[in-house]
């Protein structure tokens, strides 16, 4: 299998749109307005980092963003986060388009899905931790003010 074939599988727009849908469902579970549109670009860099994903899948609804940031080696991750956000921008945009075609997705200052999706409904043992991590990321970011997220993560551009 060629590297481009593997990349196409991992970054399949349908797979990434499900990741974003889980994220939005998590955010909507704690915030009726859901999530500020700019924050959607943080999802894939977080989910496709194995260490961060493992930390996210062990969180729950009561977890706080500040506690999540206290992970060892998180500074290393945040130091390259701006570049990763730019790297995943095109993939994220395509996933948003796919998701908007699959469900009724309100796209304005906030992204609000009409339907929720739950990681517990997933039977695939490889996908369930990814979806759970995405859902939990939505939960912790949904509780935060979006400007404080940018400040804490040292995001300089989106």
Residue bearing the bigger pLDDT, 73 or 90: 90
Q: Is 158 within the bounds of a domain? A: no
For residue 105, tell me if it sits in a domain: yes
pLDDT digits (tens, 9 = 90+) for 44-57: 999 999 988 999 99
Is residue 111 in a domain?
yes
Specify the pLDDT at position 125. Answer: 92
- Structural domains of the chain, count: 1
Q: Kindly report whether the global pTM for this prediction surpasses the value 0.95.
A: no
What range does the domain containing 10 cover? 3-153
Give CA–CA dist 65/133, Å, rounded.
14
> Which stretch of 45-49, 69-73, 101-105, 131-135 has the lowest confidence by average pLDDT?
69-73
pLDDT value at position 63?
87
Res 70: pLDDT: 78
Which range is least confidently modeled, 35-44, 76-85, 86-95? 76-85
Is 90 within the bounds of a domain?
Answer: yes
**Digit-coded pLDDT (tens) for 4-61:** 655 566 678 999 999 999 999 999 999 999 999 999 999 999 999 998 899 999 888 8
Report the C-alpha gap between 82 and 158 in whole angstroms.
Answer: 8
Position 142 in a domain: yes
Indicate the pairing of strand 35-36 with strand 105-107: unpaired
The three-class DSSP label of residue 112 is strand
In the prediction, which pLDDT does 41 show?
Answer: 96
Phi and psi torsions of 36, nearest 5°: -60, 135
Does residue 54 sit within a domain?
A: yes
138 assigned to some structural domain: yes
Share of the chain above pLDDT 70, in %: 91
Which residues make Cβ contacts (< 8 Å) with residue 20, sequence separation at least 6?
40, 43, 92, 95, 96, 99, 134
Specify if 51 maps to a domain. yes
């Amino acid at each position: 299998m060629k590297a481009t074939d593997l990349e196409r599988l991992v970054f399949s727009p349908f797979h990434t749109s499900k990741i974003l849908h889980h994220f939005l469902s998590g955010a909507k579970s704690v915030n009726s307005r859901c999530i500020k549109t700019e924050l959607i670009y943080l999802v894939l860099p977080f989910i496709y980092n194995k260490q961060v994903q493992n930390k996210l899948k062990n969180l729950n609804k009561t977890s706080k963003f500040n506690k999540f940031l206290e992970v060892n080696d998180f500074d290393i991750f945040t130091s390259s986060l701006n570049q990763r956000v730019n790297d995943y921008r095109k993939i994220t945009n395509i996933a948003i388009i796919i998701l908007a075609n699959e469900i009724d997705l309100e796209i304005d200052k906030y992204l609000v899905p009409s339907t929720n999706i739950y990681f517990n409904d997933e039977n695939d043992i490889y996908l369930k931790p990814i979806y759970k991590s995405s859902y939990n990321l939505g939960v912790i970011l949904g509780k935060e003010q979006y400007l404080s997220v940018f400040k804490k993560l040292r995001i300089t551009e989106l």
